[in-house]
Structure 1
Amino acid sequence: MAILKSVFVLLLVIFTSWEVVSSEFENENISEFVTKDEMNKVLELVKLQDQKLSELKTEMKRKHLKLDRFVKRVADLEVRVLKQSRELEKIGAHDEIENERLRGIETKLQRTSDSKKDIFANFTFNAANNRAGNREDDPEHTIIEGGTAGNEIKQRIVATSHNQRRAIQAQVAFSAYLSYFQEHLGIHQTVKFDKIITNDGNAYNAVTGIFTVPVTGTYVFIFYINSSNSIVEVRLIADNSIIASGTSRPYEFNQSKDVQGGGTVVLHLNQGVSVWIENARADSAIYSNDVDRWVTFSGFLLY
């Protein structure tokens, strides 16, 4: 019994000593750390740093998106510049061709003018000689009075006029085609054959689709249309009157089953008359391109 008491007392002393030591240790550790206010300040600083980090990430993401849009815009501009350069090259080549044709026309006109001047000079010289001769001694004077020389002059004038008409005829001819798929055409809408193959005399306007008669005469006009997605009806208009019609009526509306139609007409037209092809059916669609030139409009001076 005495032994048990001794053990109990020993344990009590040990436990009491441990509490005292532990309490002192805790007080000592607390004194080593920051205060609660300092801890709150640290936490607040951490929170602010987290917020700034989040804002920086958001700003960086926004700048990345802006940079991506800028890069895409630069790429689009490069493509646009390339297309414009190609268009400028085409326009330059087309202008050179038109200038060459214009020089040829000017040369022909100059030759015609020189020929006319030569004939007029010959006529003047012969008439002067006939007037200077004696009526009784000069038989040619008698011929003039009788009208034979006058008829010869008339024949020469007719021949000159015919040669001039032949020169003009060689200059009036055009042919153009539609280079793209044109759909939703309205009634009375002009079909603009935008690509020129031949335009001797520059009487056809690819922007308006209208041919303006440069000289009075008899003309031949030929036109073709093509469709696969709708029924198409067109008319050839001259001097604001319907002259001829053409149609394309696919049995089935399928792009692989194209139908081509058109017409040919011979007309006597006065100078200044306008000729064009117009659509006659609402919401029509005609198919053509730079390779498959199925939609064409041509004309030339016959005589």
Structure 2
Amino acid sequence: MSKFLQLFFTLVITCSGVKSLSNDHILQRFAFMEQDIAKLKTEVNLLNAANARLNEDNQRLHSLLIKLQQYEPTYDGLHRNIDKHTKNSGPKMETKRLLLSSESPPTTDHVAFCATLTNTISNLGTHQAIEYDKVITNVGHGYDARHGHFTSPKKGIYLLSVTAHAINDAKQKVALDLVVNGNIIFQLLSDGSGGNESNMSQVFPIVLETGDMVWMRTKAGYEGKYLYGSTTWTLNSFSGVLLSAL
């Protein structure tokens, strides 16, 4: 094999026009190549060893996962037995459960909010959230005036109310969506194009889960309109109240 490589290099050097190199130079270069090949073999061996260790770790993790899945039914049965024992125990156990629950974050029993628009929005964008900036009521701190979002602090039946106002302008047809977590619940249209000012209101009950986010936004196709804000009159508003917790 070495003789073949030596002959190969001799032919390459001769063809390239470099004829002044001696056999010693060729052998020296060949020796350097053999050293490089030896280094590459060493690195390949190291990589193969590392890959073998990774395969062993993967097999151990797979075995642990199988064991955990085998223990899962036992854990579920133990958990049900604890719940059953807790329900059947006397006042002493109930006292302990109350002490544990006292460490949980307090829940909000009353929720209500009301906000109006005082700053006129002159050019509504696509799906632009309406930021009702004047907060009148915010019991439970669920309404965020910075973004116009109401976040439900607890699951329950809520009563929501929205009012949209359009001034007497031939180009004014204000259309808004009420959305929950980005899903449209209903749409509101106030048409002032007939020469008279127009007010449209909607009041409805809705079930919200803890953490659900509700807001008003521009309806698609009604961009470029404007909502009139007023510090004197309540023309555009967004409000809600928790009727019953679930």
TM (norm. structure 2) is: 0.53
Letter aligned with residue 287 of structure 1? Y
The separation in 2 between residues aligned to 1:252 and 1:301, in whole angstroms, is 37
Residue of structure 1 equivalent to 2:120: 181
Matches within 5 A, 1:34-45: none
Matches within 5 A, 1:103-142: 127=91
Residue of structure 1 equivalent to 2:237: 296
The Cα offsets for residues 63-108 of structure 1, whole Å up to 9 and x where unpaired, read as: xxxxxxxxxxxxxxxxxxxxxxxxxxxxxxxxxxxxxxxxxxxxxx
**What's the CA shift for 1:126?**
6.2
**What's the CA shift for 1:169?**
3.7
**What's the CA shift for 1:288?**
2.6
Is this contact kept in 1: 2:161–2:238, CA < 8 A? Answer: yes
Q: Does 1:243 align with 2:185?
A: yes
Matched residue SS, 1:168: coil
**Percent identical across equivalent pairs?**
27
Instruction: Pick the structure with more helix per residue.
Output: 1
* Runs of 4+ more than 6 Å apart: none
The separation in 2 between residues aligned to 1:201 and 1:249, in whole angstroms, is 34
Is this contact kept in 1: 2:173–2:193, CA < 8 A? Answer: no
Structure 1, unaligned stretches of length 5 or more? 1-122, 132-152, 158-164
Letter aligned with residue 243 of structure 1? I
Is this contact kept in 2: 1:178–1:295, CA < 8 A? Answer: yes
The separation in 1 between residues aligned to 2:197 and 2:146, in whole angstroms, is 27
Based on CA coordinates, which of the two structures has the bigger radius of gyration? 1
Residue of structure 2 equivalent to 1:273: 212
**What's the CA shift for 1:252?**
3.2
**What's the CA shift for 1:168?**
3.2
Structure with more relative contact order (C-alpha pairs < 8 Å, separation 6 or more): 2
The Cα offsets for residues 26-50 of structure 1, whole Å up to 9 and x where unpaired, read as: xxxxxxxxxxxxxxxxxxxxxxxxx
Aligned length: 142
Structure 2, unaligned stretches of length 5 or more? 1-86, 99-105
The separation in 2 between residues aligned to 1:226 and 1:187, in whole angstroms, is 19
Instruction: Pick the structure with more strand per residue.
Output: 2
**What's the CA shift for 1:186?**
1.5
Cα root mean square deviation, aligned: 2.6
The Cα offsets for residues 196-242 of structure 1, whole Å up to 9 and x where unpaired, read as: 00000111000100001111111111000111131000011012110
